[in-house]
Amino acid sequence: MPRLFTGLELPDNLSDELALLRGGLPGAKWIEPEDYHLTLRFIGDIGDAMANEVYDALSSIRRSAFTVTLEGLMTFGSDKPRAIVARARPTQELTELQQDHERAMRRLGLPAETRKFVPHVTIARLRNGSAVLAADWLGSRALLPKTFTVTNFVLFSSRASTGGGPYVSEASFQLERSAFGGRFAAAGESPVNRSR
């Protein structure tokens, strides 16, 4: 079984907008727009039997649809930046969904996630990243706050690669109707349109 993780897909129009930021930074490996996502919980390499248990555990999560806002650009790693990301606002709804995933994986006996949850979408991974060059790049680009509605979360798989991707959606789990997405949830549709 490939490496697994859970996350949120981005709408195509937002992925297209983030893709316009690509370029102009030496040593950057740019993520393909169809691979943009917001990771909720890294699971890792597991066998088929455990993968089935993961699927069942995720199927039992009940949350309402909500919105996510990408509110700006930043780097991960201060002295030696290792990634350029679009940071997401850590709202209660987003944090609680991530905590649901963490609890579900812990109940299955998987190791605890030791890193603090910092919601983000990775745009580029940096090799031998220069803090000065990254700061210059960030200073010359802007991302105005962008909000999208989340009506589902996804179990992704990935193949070993340098820089991340390609990612495959193995299963999608619908969130419940809410004021944000009731029409979409009821119709089995989603404003997160992945037509690629």
Catalytic residues: 37, 120
Residue with tokens 């890193």: 115
124: Cβ contacts below 8 Å, ≥ 6 apart: 22, 25, 28, 29, 30, 31, 83, 84
101 and 61 Cβ atoms separated by less than 8 Å: yes
Which residues make Cβ contacts (< 8 Å) with residue 43, sequence separation at least 6? 3, 4, 5, 6, 54, 105, 110
Handedness of CA 138, 16, 171, 185 (dihedral sign): positive
Nearest alpha carbon to residue 102 among 146, 58, 49, 141: 58
Spell out the alpha helix ranges (H) of 111-166. Answer: 131-139
Residue 36 corresponds to which tokens in the numbers above? 């943009």
Using alpha carbons, select from 2, 124, 7 the residue that is nearest to residue 75: 124
